[in-house]
Amino acid sequence: MNNPTSTIWITRPLSEAKLLAQALQAQGWSTALLPALTIGLSSDPNRISQAVKQLQPQQIVIFVSRNAVNGVAEQLGSDDRMILTQCQCLAVGAATAQAVKDLGIEQCEYPTIADSEHLLQCSALQQVAGKEIVIFRGQSGREHLGDCLTAQGAIVRYLECYQTTAASIDTTQLQKISPQDVLVITSVKAMEVLMQVACDNPNVKQACWLVASQRIADVAAQRYAPREIRVAKGASHQAIIAALKS
């Protein structure tokens, strides 16, 4: 996929898209920003702080994305963060785990392939019957992880610490996408927002879609049938770069 004439189109929220673009440009790729989502904080930050104060030492807490970590970081004081350092923390992938460590939490287990299915294989989640588990996520996030843990006997609680909304996509940008280009898509929601405005645009479906998980790939193939789908081992910069080089 090392095509010097191709452009890497990044659909992540703007602040994340800019960071990924910098990493890709450092590797020699041309990039363009096409954010499909915007990120905002939870409407009730006090609820996050109150819930964290109730956490017990060694209680399992799970962060499903970097946005979840950032949402927590922006809504907690230093004392609340100290409580989290005493918990058993897990992250959905390497990028999220790094964000957890940046929060001051040194120990954080995560799978090598960043998705809920592989997260469930982590050692800390093998015997969860009767345990209380807190999942930090976005508003109206996916239920699969919690459902699986509940089925194993865990007591699951969600804490929604950020919210995503559809960004306004410039449709004139879509006309610039060519078949040799690559679309980086790291969530089903971003893909859905993009295709709401691009469903009749053949350029988008002719590009290669680089997605962050097999689940996104499956949804893409079933709903939109793009010409080519590549699957990265997560949404981290390293995973996306590795997939582009493969």
> Tell me, what DSSP letter sits at residue 182?
E
Mean pLDDT confidence for 150-176: 92
Written as six digits, the tokens of 234 are 């997560």
Confidence class of residue 140 from pLDDT cuts 50, 70 and 90? confident
Q: What is the pLDDT of residue 41?
A: 79
Residue 129: CA count within 13 A, CB half-sphere: 2
- Minimum mean pLDDT range among 75-79, 121-125, 153-157, 239-243: 75-79
Q: What is the dihedral of CA 54, 59, 65, 71, to 10 degrees?
A: 20
21, 134, 139 from 169: Cα distances, Å: 18, 34, 21
Mean pLDDT confidence for 34-52: 85
Confidence class of residue 13 from pLDDT cuts 50, 70 and 90? very high
Question: Do 182 and 8 meet the contact criterion of CB atoms below 8 Å apart?
Answer: yes
Mean pLDDT confidence for 170-194: 94
Give 68-127 pLDDT, tens digit per residue. 998 888 888 888 889 999 999 999 998 899 999 998 898 999 999 888 899 999 999 999
Question: Do 156 and 182 meet the contact criterion of CB atoms below 8 Å apart?
Answer: no
Residue 7 predicted with pLDDT over 70 = yes
Q: What is the pLDDT of residue 47?
A: 83
Residue 1 predicted with pLDDT over 70 = no
Mean pLDDT confidence for 35-44: 85
Mean pLDDT confidence for 25-36: 96
Q: Record the pTM.
A: 0.81
Q: What is the pLDDT of residue 24?
A: 96
Confidence class of residue 201 from pLDDT cuts 50, 70 and 90? confident
Q: What is the pLDDT of residue 128?
A: 96
Residue 40 predicted with pLDDT over 90 = no
Backbone angles phi, psi at 58, to 5 degrees: 70, 5
